[in-house]
Structure 1
Amino acid sequence: MTFTDQLRKENDDIFQMIFNHPFVEGIGRGDIDKKAIEHYIKADFEYLNAFMKIYGIALAKSTNRTDIAYFHDKINFILNDEIHPHHNFCDYIGVGYEELQGHPLPPTADHYIKHMMYHAQLGSLGEIVGALLPCPWTYLEIGKELIQTYRPTEEHPFYPWISFYADSRVEKTTNDMRNLLDQYATHISPEEKLRIKDAFRKSCQLELKFWEMAYTLEEWPSQEKVNFT
């Protein structure tokens, strides 16, 4: 069993909770509250901006040109390809993509980004990859799960979103990242493996919380919205 096989097995509970989350199931059914989608896009746009910056930190920590080229390509994928699922959601809710950019992060998205940035700034290259990997991996499996469960056709309102994440490009991103981490794991200490496992699991948990954040329209508490008396 490879290191990433082990990571997947140890976190299957979280993966299953993601598959069964009402937002994810709503994508499969083609029926999601439009405010929840808007909340999701606002947060995910900023999240992906941070993801690219963390790829940049990983690039700076790389010790060979192969890894440098790898992280450069992954930045390009997010910048030029991963906007398409967002456009599908925007078309569904009838809101321009530009209108949903530049908004403050809800608490969970803020936490998730800072979790990844912590490992990027203070951790090893393996920790960075361990913290980043759950994002493409869970989305790849969501796409495949929705294809298998709902058999969407091109008339499905979220067919572009589902087919994008079930596509070979996302599978390649996931497999490339897994291979990189598996190779890295062959020559590191047990202590570093534990740190990577911790980073990976927390990112899986935050992926689940991200869906919940969007579904519940999570916001920061304020005096106007919370009464403790």
Structure 2
Amino acid sequence: MSLPFPIPPFALECKLFAKDAFGASFTHPFVLALAEGTLDPKVFRFYQIQDAKYLEAFSDACAILSTKVIDPDDKLWLIDAARMALVVESQLHLGYGKTLGYDASTIAQTEPTPNNLAYQNHMITTAMKGTILEGFCAIAPCPWLYVELGQHLVQKKGTIPKDHPYASWLTMYSDPGFNDYMANLLSRLQKYADLTDLDAKNRAKLTFRQSCDYEWMFWEQAWTSQVWPHR
């Protein structure tokens, strides 16, 4: 699929390296049911609450990375990304909460699933202990995959019916406004790749692929309503 934002060389390397993991999300039954509008609202509710928990960690990872970069423009972009994860996306979560019966206190009181917590720890630990490039590779698959998924599903379906139960989700992630976000993110991925050697790039690509795997696992934890053992 051609994309309306540039993909620099190292970002393309990452995507090709993780192509099986990246592509697996497009055929996950959760995603297919979401696109068709047949997804059980209870499953979507489970997903939305867990996603809100995840985005808190995504915001933390961006904030941690902002303390490691020196370029003021990069700092500001990461701070804005941390804010966007909490403010902009929360509008979608709480909007659905009005119809699905949850609110901010529900989200705060919900325990992350094992898959969700593992993904959160992967991002935050990488942001804290890894290189700057690894940190960007840990956070990049989430927005990149969602933008591609949103635009792919809308292209596949054509016009989104007004009565589609997940129209807001499809509309949000197919919004052209995300193209600038992705262009900025991937340009920074390239910038820090250019400052590292081959071994560092290879480690970063592993981090990118792991995040792609976690993205698939995130759909799976919602689809199966994953719980902790002995709960």
Q: TM-score w.r.t. structure 2 length?
A: 0.90
CA contact (8 A) 2:141 2:212 kept: yes
- What residue is the counterpart of 2:14 in the other structure? 7
Aligned match of 2:64: 57
Would the aligned equivalents of 1:89 and 1:158 in 2 still touch at CA under 8 Å?
Answer: no
Instruction: After the TM superposition, list the runs of 4 or more consecutive aligned residues in structure 1 that deviate by more than 4 angstroms.
Output: none
Task: Name the aligned partner's letter for residue 34 of structure 1.
Answer: P
Distance 2:23 2:75 in 1: 33
1:141 aligns with 2:161: no
Quick one: distance in 2 between partners of 1:8 and 1:89?
Answer: 31
Alignment partner of 2:67: what SS? helix
Aligned to 2:104: 98
- 1:82 pairs, out of 60, 74, 89, with 89
Q: Does 1:155 align with 2:163?
A: yes
After TM superposition, give the deviation of residue 196 of structure 1 in Å.
0.7
Task: Find the counterpart in structure 1 of residue 175 from structure 2.
Answer: 167
Measure the CA separation in 2 of the matches of 1:185 and 1:29. Answer: 39
Equivalent in the alignment of 1:227: none
CA distance in 2 between partners of 1:156 and 1:88 (Å): 15
Question: Residues 115-172 of structure 1: CA distance to partner in whole angstroms, max 9, x if unpaired?
Answer: 1112111111111100000000010011011101222233322111111111122222
Alignment partners' CA distance in 1, 2:58 and 2:75: 16
1:99 deviates by 4.9
Compute the displacement of 1:185 (Å). Answer: 0.9
Aligned counterparts of 1:113 and 1:212: Cα–Cα separation in 2: 16
- Give the total of aligned pairs: 222
What TM-score do the two structures reach when normalised by structure 1?
0.91
For the Cα contact (< 8 Å) 2:150–2:170, is it kept in 1?
A: yes
**Aligned pair in 2 of structure 1 residues 17, 8: CA closer, same or farther (>3 Å)?**
same
Question: Equivalent of 1:68, from 72, 75, 93?
Answer: 75
Letter in 2 for 1:201: R
Residue pair 2:49, 2:93 contacting (<8 A) in 1 also = no
Counterpart amino acid of residue 97 in structure 1: D
From 182, 196, 209, the counterpart of 1:188: 196
For the residues of structure 2 that align with 1:15 and 1:88, how far apart are their CA atoms? 28
Partner of residue 111 from structure 1, selected from 118, 128, 134: 118
Question: How far apart are the structure 1 equivalents of 2:102 and 2:12?
Answer: 40
Tell which deviates more after alignment, 62-71 or 205-214. 62-71
Q: Percent identity?
A: 29
- The structural deviation recorded for 1:88 is 4.8
Do 1:18 and 1:208's aligned partners in 2 also have CA atoms closer than 8 Å?
Answer: yes
SS at match of 1:120: helix
Identify unmatched segments of 5+ residues in structure 2. 1-7
Given that 1:88 and 1:158 are in contact with CA atoms closer than 8 Å, whether structure 2 keeps it comes out as no
Give distance in 2, aligned partners of 1:87 and 1:23.
21
Change (3 A) 1:90 1:150: farther
